[in-house]
Amino acid sequence: MLNVHTDERAWRIGADGEEAVGDQLEKMARKNPRWHVLHAVPVGERGSDIDHLVIGPAGIFTINAKHHPGAKIWVGKDQLRVNGHVEPYIRNSRFEAKRASRILSAAVGFEVVVDALVILFGVEDITIKTQPGEKDGSTVHVKYRRQAVRWLGQQATRLSDDQVEAIYEQSRRSTTWVAPS
């Protein structure tokens, strides 16, 4: 009511961003059935989850949706700042992608490379000096919500249809994600 910051309000703002990103990803999958999207994938037994997991011909992507209404974002190599404050989004996204890669590789029996994508929503301005890129076998990309789906669709094909389907089938199983990582 008075724009008071509460945990509930912060959660709702974040959830709104995740839902908006999820809607766009679903539209992409409806237009091209070679893409699959899973939402709020629970990982492990400590309550963590992947906001969105996208599986398609261009690869596998863990997606973290971050809603920062009116914020100014700055991205450089391994750092993302929101209104001047460093946020751990790149580090956390890299960890999440590497963890998903280990879990999915074990589940399907072949190496699965997973990239991370941080999708920003509701921001006023984004300055990307340098994309985070590859580090320790994991690649992180930062995109504004309006760019993300188009960007995914423009990526080169890295997986066959059979690989996409095998990974998707394992990804849909809750038992896949409780594996030790």
Q: How many CB atoms lie within 10 A of CB 98?
A: 17
Q: Per the domain annotation, does 147 fall within a domain?
A: yes
Q: Per the domain annotation, does 133 fall within a domain?
A: yes
Number of independent structural domains in the chain: 1
The set of residues, in sequence order, having a beta carbon less than 8 Å from that of 14 and lying 6+ positions away, is 65, 66, 67
Strand partners, 75: 80, 128
The pLDDT of residue 75: 96
Q: Per the domain annotation, does 180 fall within a domain?
A: no
Q: Per the domain annotation, does 122 fall within a domain?
A: yes
Token couple for 73: 């974002």
Q: Per the domain annotation, does 163 fall within a domain?
A: yes
Q: Please say whether the beta carbons of 110 and 121 come within 8 A.
A: no
Write out pLDDT tens, residues 25-61: 999 889 999 999 999 999 987 878 999 999 999 999 9
Q: Per the domain annotation, does 113 fall within a domain?
A: yes
Q: CA-to-CA distance for 178 and 43, rounded, in angstroms?
A: 6
The pTM of the whole model exceeds 0.85: yes
Write out pLDDT tens, residues 54-110: 999 999 999 999 999 999 999 998 999 999 999 999 999 999 999 999 999 999 999
Q: Per the domain annotation, does 2 fall within a domain?
A: no
Q: Per the domain annotation, does 179 fall within a domain?
A: no
Q: Which domain holds residue 97?
A: 7-174
